[in-house]
């Protein structure tokens, strides 16, 4: 046993020694704990002394944390399941995630910016409880009527009910203190924000369940460090990997808890490397075990989630247009599935043209014009993400003939063509006017009458990687359209147009001629009765190809989530101070109102505890550096403060600070994973100060009463309210609107 192991071992002895001294009435400083016995020669299997309140302990005190844990679980279930079916209409993001659960039941393919596990579990919960996937989930406020929605809400509430017990076990493991663990659990039990998030069809309770599960398994695995490669050691290691895959499988912010576990593992391996009693062969075994349990297993499970996702969603749906033509060819009901069409592009063909940029859209036009002051007042040309008749274009010769009478002539690399919009008969056109959003690009419009136009309608076809005379292959050729008059290339910028452009994708003419996915297109659909057809089954992609493409689409979709006109964008600095909540349901006095807002007493207490913890941590490090001697419980709590509390502080930082550098739109509920860590840190912070054992019960009582009473005051925010608003003295929330930014 090296010096650091001895120090940790001695500290754990000190915890039990204080309790044991009271029983044996030994003199202060006497050795009351028997030394560990039956040590093996390599120190791998040592009997670890039991600590107070540990669930594995055979002492009479064991029933105390067990009974307390049962109480925590009962209170958590009661607060989450109370009025679970109210209101009986769609609330907030149930519009999205309830609809996606329906898609899984109907096996209809869709696109979402998050990985699929959370939506799959919601759909499974609905299916198992009698929901048939027919409710449309069109908008918030729609009545569920006869549809069985309670199962999906109950599933989310069940996972949300696990958060306080998980917090109790984590803090108990880190602090060895039942009162500290109970404080942390109480803060989550009585937080109105956590209750609200847990009662609806949302991804948040599922995500937080896996995050807290990952942390719990990690700290339990850390306690097995003196029993390596035993059953419990492997069990908690593999269960940590399982929970990590679940976290990432619900949302990409699950990467934050993966980073937390990774940092903890790196420090653990560094400690093992410094243990001179451990051979390099044994260290290699530790390293490989962690690589398997924390990297390979989570990756395998995460990949399996997507494999199931692709198998279940095998029918064409609203998400087709976000993906490539080859991806769409695997979807039943898509026009490319088991289809046949001409192999090469010819004049006189009616085609759809799809941009190769992920979510770049189909080349599209409609009767609407660009507004005054936005380039020329001509017909809009955009990128549209869905199949539509307005995506059809007719390929014509530069002299404006469409070659309907003679034999078909193929379009080849270097040919000059016109593209006439099938519905409006206007030509694809560009000129020296600035594009609407991308100011260094040129505007692209629809111009002319019945196919007649001018020289600005001419485009040269270039097959990427081809040479003059190469034919254009349907689906397989990457094609660029070079504007003859200006020298720019047709481009999908990926930017979303304002409402006057129907929030479709901006199409421009880029002066930068370098080949990029934004300037590359492929011919997806082709109608020409004069050409022979071939089967498109050879285009179906492999699993790894669709896995990679789906991740690129999700990542770009996330980065493209920008605030819309007049849409409120929450700021990260708002969140810890509980500056502003979020409306889940209802606005006026006659509606059933639910408002997502954390219990202000709990949130402000957490904020105070964060500051206090940083101060105490600084004092503890300074005292240690100056050689101040601490004995007994003071030494144990100082160790807990620096190690256990430090891990929770790191978890809070990792789940909070990254939002400051995110370019996407942010919402208040993004803070709740970080809030879990700050609540546990509050429980741990309460251990510090003087002879803490004398004031544990007092603190526990005060914190629990404060959390419970503030919950009583603010519970209508979670469970719903009707009648007067908070500014009315007759309101149930009268006098509780402590900040002007709260909107209830």
Q: Are 125 and 152 in contact (CB under 8 A)?
A: yes
The confidence band for 404, taking pLDDT boundaries of 50, 70 and 90, is low
Q: pLDDT tens-digit profile of 515-531?
A: 888 999 999 889 998 88
Cα 137 to the center of its chain, rounded Å: 21
Q: Which residue has the tokens 């959370």?
A: 118
Q: Are 599 and 190 in contact (CB under 8 A)?
A: yes
The confidence band for 653, taking pLDDT boundaries of 50, 70 and 90, is very high
pLDDT at 637: 62
Mean pLDDT over 181-194 rounds to 93
pLDDT at 704: 75
Mean pLDDT over 196-210 rounds to 96
3-state secondary structure of 395: strand
Q: Are 722 and 614 in contact (CB under 8 A)?
A: no
| Tokens at 175, concatenated | 């602090």
Residue 740: pLDDT over 80: yes
Task: Decide: residue 134, CB within 10 A, 0-12 exposed, 13-18 middle, 19+ buried.
Answer: exposed
| Tokens at 307, concatenated | 């494999």
Q: Which segment, 23-32, 455-464, 608-617, is predicted with the most confidence on average?
A: 455-464
| Nearest Cα residue to 124 out of 107, 143, 144 | 107
pLDDT at 279: 92
E strand or H helix at 312, and its extent? helix 297-312
The confidence band for 697, taking pLDDT boundaries of 50, 70 and 90, is low
E strand or H helix at 379, and its extent? strand 379-384
Q: Which segment, 352-356, 534-538, 695-699, is predicted with the most confidence on average?
A: 352-356
Q: pLDDT tens-digit profile of 557-594?
A: 887 777 665 566 789 999 999 999 898 988 888 889 99
**Higher pLDDT pick, 24 / 698:** 698
Q: In this structure, is the dihedral angle defined by the CA atoms of residues 45, 49, 51 and 54, taken in order, positive or negative?
A: positive
Rounded to 5 degrees, what are φ and ψ at 728? -85, 130
pLDDT at 632: 56
| Tokens at 65, concatenated | 């944390």
How does DSSP assign 194-210, residue by residue? HHHHHTSS-SHHHHHHH
Interatomic CA distance for residues 518 and 508, integer angstroms: 10
Tell me if the bond preceding 87 is cis, omega within 30° of 0: yes
Buried b (16+ CB within 10 A) or exposed e, 563-581: eeeeeeebebeebbebebb
| Nearest Cα residue to 349 out of 603, 576, 528 | 528
Residue 701: pLDDT over 80: no
The confidence band for 307, taking pLDDT boundaries of 50, 70 and 90, is very high
Query: Could you give all domains of the chain from N- to C-terminal order, each with its CATH number?
Result: 76-308+581-736 (no CATH), 339-534 (2.80.10.50)
Cα distance between the two ends of the chain = 59
Average pLDDT, whole number, for the chain?
A: 85
- Of 114-128, 344-358, 360-374, 728-742, the poorest mean pLDDT is in 728-742
Cβ neighbours for 608, distance < 8 A, ≥ 6 positions apart: none
- Of 10-19, 209-218, 458-467, 690-699, the poorest mean pLDDT is in 10-19
**Higher pLDDT pick, 21 / 66:** 66
Prediction pTM value? 0.82
């Amino acid at each position: 046993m090296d010096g650091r192991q001895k120090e940790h071992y001695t500290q754990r002895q000190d915890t039990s020694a204080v309790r044991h001294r009271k029983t044996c009435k030994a003199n202060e400083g006497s050795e009351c704990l028997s030394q560990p016995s039956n040590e093996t020669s390599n120190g791998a299997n040592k009997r670890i002394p039991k600590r107070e309140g540990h669930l594995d302990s055979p002492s009479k005190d064991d029933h105390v944390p067990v009974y307390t844990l049962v109480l925590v679980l009962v209170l958590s279930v009661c607060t989450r399941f109370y009025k679970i079916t109210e209101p009986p209409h769609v609330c907030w993001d149930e519009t999205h995630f309830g609809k996606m659960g329906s898609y899984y039941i109907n096996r209809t393919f869709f696109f979402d910016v998050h990985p699929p596990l959370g939506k799959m579990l919601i759909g499974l919960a609905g299916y198992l409880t009698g929901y048939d996937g027919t409710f449309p989930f069109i908008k918030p406020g729609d009545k569920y009527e006869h549809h069985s929605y309670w199962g999906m809400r109950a599933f989310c509430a069940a996972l949300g009910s696990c958060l306080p017990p998980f917090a109790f076990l984590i803090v108990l493991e880190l602090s060895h203190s039942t009162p500290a663990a109970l404080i942390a659990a109480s803060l989550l039990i009585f937080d109105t924000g956590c209750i609200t998030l847990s009662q609806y069809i949302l991804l948040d309770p599922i995500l937080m369940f896996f995050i807290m599960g990952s942390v719990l398994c990690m700290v339990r695995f850390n306690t097995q460090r003196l029993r390596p490669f035993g059953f419990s050691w492997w069990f908690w290691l593999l269960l940590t990997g399982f929970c990590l895959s679940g976290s990432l499988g619900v949302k990409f912010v699950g990467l934050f808890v993966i980073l937390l576990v990774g940092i903890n593992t790196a420090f653990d391996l560094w400690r093992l490397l410094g243990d001179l009693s451990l051979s390099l062969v044994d260290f290699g075994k530790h390293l490989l075990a962690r690589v398997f349990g924390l990297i390979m297993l989570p990756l395998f499970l995460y990949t399996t989630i997507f494999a199931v996702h692709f198998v279940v969603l095998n029918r064409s749906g609203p998400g087709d247009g976000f993906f490539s033509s080859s991806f769409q060819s695997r979807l039943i009901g898509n026009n490319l599935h088991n289809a046949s069409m001409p192999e090469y592009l010819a004049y006189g063909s009616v085609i759809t043209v799809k941009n190769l940029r992920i979510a770049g859209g189909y080349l599209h036009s409609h009767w609407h014009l660009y507004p005054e002051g936005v380039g020329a007042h001509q017909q809009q040309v955009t990128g549209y993400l869905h199949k539509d008749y307005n995506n059809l274009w007719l390929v014509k010769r530069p002299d404006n003939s469409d070659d309907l009478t003679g034999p078909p002539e193929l379009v080849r690399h270097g040919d000059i063509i016109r593209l006439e919009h099938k519905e409006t008969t206007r030509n694809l056109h560009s000129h020296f006017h600035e594009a609407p959003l991308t100011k260094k690009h040129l505007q692209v419009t629809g111009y002319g009458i019945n196919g007649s136009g001018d020289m600005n309608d001419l485009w040269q076809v270039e097959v990427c990687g081809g040479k003059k005379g190469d034919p254009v292959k349907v689906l397989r050729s990457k094609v660029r359209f070079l504007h003859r008059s200006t020298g720019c290339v047709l481009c999908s910028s990926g930017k979303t147009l304002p409402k006057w452009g129907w929030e479709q994708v901006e199409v421009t003419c880029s002066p930068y001629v370098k080949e990029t996915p934004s300037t590359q297109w492929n011919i997806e659909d082709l109608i020409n009765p004069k050409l022979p057809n071939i089967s498109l089954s050879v285009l179906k992609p492999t699993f790894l190809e669709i896995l990679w493409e789906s991740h690129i689409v999700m990542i770009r979709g996330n980065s493209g989530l920008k605030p819309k006109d007049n849409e409120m964008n929450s700021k990260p600095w708002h969140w810890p101070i509980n500056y502003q909540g979020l409306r889940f349901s209802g606005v006026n006095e006659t509606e059933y109102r639910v408002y997502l807002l954390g219990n202000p007493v709990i949130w402000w207490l957490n904020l105070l505890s964060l500051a206090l913890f940083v101060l105490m941590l600084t004092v503890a490090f300074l005292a240690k550096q100056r050689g101040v001697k601490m004995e007994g419980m003071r030494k144990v709590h100082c160790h807990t403060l620096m190690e256990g509390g430090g891990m929770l502080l790191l978890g809070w930082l990792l789940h909070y600070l990254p939002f400051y550098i995110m370019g996407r739109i942010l919402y208040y509920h993004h803070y709740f994973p970080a809030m879990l860590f700050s609540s546990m840190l509050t429980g741990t912070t309460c251990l510090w100060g003087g002879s803490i054992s004398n004031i544990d019960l007092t603190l526990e009582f005060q914190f629990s009463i404060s959390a419970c009473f503030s919950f009583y005051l603010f519970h209508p925010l979670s469970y719903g309210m009707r009648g007067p608003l908070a500014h009315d003295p007759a309101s149930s929330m009268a006098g509780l609107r402590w900040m002007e930014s709260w909107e209830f």
